[in-house]
Structure 1
Amino acid sequence: MGIMSKKEEKTIPNSVKHHVLITGGSSGIGAALASYYARPGVHITLWGRNEARLQETARKSQEKGASTSILAIDLSNAAQAVQALIEADNINPVDILILSAGMADIRPAGAKTETSETALQMSLVNFATPVAMATEAASRMAERQTGRIGILGSVASFHDLPLATVYSGSKAGLGRFSTALRAAMEPYNVKVTLIAPGFIDTPMSQRLEGNQPFLVPVDKAARQIARSINRGQAKLVFPWVFQLTRLLEALLPSAISHRILRALDIMQHPPEN
């Protein structure tokens, strides 16, 4: 699927000093980040799949004094997403790009793997499209000698998750791209921040049935993420305990760590429309 509907302002108020573009802005972390950044002088461009929820996020941002525009879009079409980014940046240069949209499907109950259809879509949404968007944004920001790009990965990228091979793999690829892009952009004052959170209390995590240790409230997570992006921090892994689990798995023989990970018992409910 491509763009479902489009609502981009052709002009942005002259009072706008900063332009923040957030994917996944209809709920969860994206909506919480919009609330964090919303204030007078800030224009927030919100992308997501659900137009009604985007409008609600935009309304709340406007109540805080921000101007907004929304775009209902399917990020499995990378070419259209990049073109929409170009159009938004041409209207008003994007100062902060936050790529928070993603899929987190796990292996269906009784199946040996995820479906190939899910694997393809998740690879596009979690890896190919954010990579293409970040590359385009970085090129433009480098010309302007300023900018911030926040890329939402996951602590799942540090582990070989049998229940979520495509999710952990796509996030691992995104993580390596993020750090490589940061290295490329350092000379141009463009800072790329990789965010690798554990469980956050969002509609995505609420689909899971099973133990979710160290669950972080979404507003608290948004504050941590935004502050790291604003500082130009290279990487944010939180809660801190997941930095420890990453080190522990690296020390364990793979046969042992894989046995432990295969024992994870998590089920997933279908997503809401």
Structure 2
Amino acid sequence: MARPLVFITGASSGIGQALAACYYRAGWSLALTARRAGEIQAWAAAERLEPGRYAVYAADVADTASIVAAGQQCLARQGLPQVVIANAGISIGVDTAVREDLDVIARTYATNNVGLAATFHPFVAAMVARGSGTLVGIASVAGMRGLPGHGAYCASKAAVISYCESLRGELRASGVKVVTICPGYVDTPLTRQNRYAMPFLLLPAQFAERAARAIGRGSSYRVIPWQMAIVAALLRWLPNSLFDRLLAGRPRKHRQGE
């Protein structure tokens, strides 16, 4: 039997690369996408991946035509995936009083939101026609409440959660599943510059294994690790006055150039 195929964006490092390794070990074939396609190739060579079990597509998810073309190339070269994971994302601190940061906000939404929808787009109709498939949006616990200095990322991940929920309802009767994964803190290049404590920090491989299990079960929504689900729920229900006081003086995310 043919190996199942997973399509992963942001596969050049961090969570995306860990997911690729996890699925490869489980016997899947890989369709890997990133702007830095050379880094994926170097990783695949270092890991001695079988050439027939993976393909690399250079694409920028912030460029709709680019990521749609990558999906179409995957369909033509490798066929229709069983799982599509829209993982690529950026996280940069912003200050609305700074003009340049408005451009950062626009780029964040283009990558984390429009890019996610564009990642799914080439596969939706074919999955519906087949009557099966799983579309996975990587959101974040940060999407559950706004954090000072982190407005672009928090807002974009809140939008991922709502978008995937909407898409899940649209596809409910089609046989195509939509899974929302909300990571807590994972030790990746995206988080290593954070200036604040990161409770329940996971290694990328730990996160990937738990995420793959949730995806395999078709879970509609999963926070990883589970401890962060409790933390997020408590923060969600805090009155605004207490929430604001709790975060007063908290170090902010690095802005672009810092």
Superposed pair shares fold, TM > 0.5: yes
Q: 1:72 to 1:84 in 2, by over 3 A?
A: closer
- Measured against aligned partners, the alpha-carbon deviations of 1:182-212 in whole angstroms (never above 9, x if no partner) come to 1222212211110001100111111223211
Cα offset, 1:131, TM superposition:
1.5
- Measured against aligned partners, the alpha-carbon deviations of 1:72-118 in whole angstroms (never above 9, x if no partner) come to 2222111221122123123311211011110011137x976970111
Question: Is contact 2:85–2:136 with CA below 8 Å preserved after alignment?
Answer: yes
Corresponding letter in the other structure for 1:95: Q
Q: 1:183 to 1:207 in 2, by over 3 A?
A: same
How do 1:1-273 and structure 2 match up within 5 A? Answer: 16-39=2-25, 42-59=28-45, 62-63=48-49, 67-91=53-77, 92-107=79-94, 115-268=101-254
Rounded Cα–Cα distance in structure 2 between residues aligned with 1:33 and 1:181: 23
SS at match of 2:186: coil
Question: Is contact 2:9–2:34 with CA below 8 Å preserved after alignment?
Answer: yes
Rounded Cα–Cα distance in structure 1 between residues aligned with 2:154 and 2:55: 32
SS at match of 2:201: coil
Gaps of 5+ in 1: 1-14
Corresponding letter in the other structure for 2:134: R
Question: Is contact 2:94–2:255 with CA below 8 Å preserved after alignment?
Answer: no
Q: Using structure 1 for the length normalisation, give the TM-score.
A: 0.85
SS at match of 2:149: helix
Rounded Cα–Cα distance in structure 1 between residues aligned with 2:126 and 2:82: 10
Q: 1:253 to 1:269 in 2, by over 3 A?
A: closer
Question: Is contact 1:154–1:197 with CA below 8 Å preserved after alignment?
Answer: yes
Question: Is contact 2:62–2:111 with CA below 8 Å preserved after alignment?
Answer: yes
Corresponding letter in the other structure for 1:169: A
Corresponding letter in the other structure for 2:92: D
Cα offset, 1:228, TM superposition:
0.8
Q: How many pairs were matched up?
A: 256
Q: Which residue number in structure 2 is paired with residue 8 of structure 1?
A: none
SS at match of 1:207: coil
Rounded Cα–Cα distance in structure 1 between residues aligned with 2:15 and 2:27: 22
Query: Of the two structures, which has the highest relative contact order with CA contacts closer than 8 Å and spacing of 6 or more?
Result: 2
SS at match of 2:190: helix
Rounded Cα–Cα distance in structure 2 between residues aligned with 1:65 and 1:226: 23
SS at match of 1:63: coil
Rounded Cα–Cα distance in structure 1 between residues aligned with 2:27 and 2:224: 30
Rounded Cα–Cα distance in structure 1 between residues aligned with 2:51 and 2:208: 19
Rounded Cα–Cα distance in structure 2 between residues aligned with 1:269 and 1:206: 14
Cα offset, 1:136, TM superposition:
3.7
Q: Using structure 2 for the length normalisation, give the TM-score.
A: 0.89
Corresponding letter in the other structure for 2:9: T
Question: Is contact 2:61–2:119 with CA below 8 Å preserved after alignment?
Answer: no
Question: Is contact 2:144–2:236 with CA below 8 Å preserved after alignment?
Answer: no
Q: 1:112 to 1:253 in 2, by over 3 A?
A: farther
Higher mean alpha-carbon deviation, 224-233 vs 52-61, is at 52-61
Q: 1:40 to 1:235 in 2, by over 3 A?
A: closer
Question: Is contact 2:7–2:81 with CA below 8 Å preserved after alignment?
Answer: yes
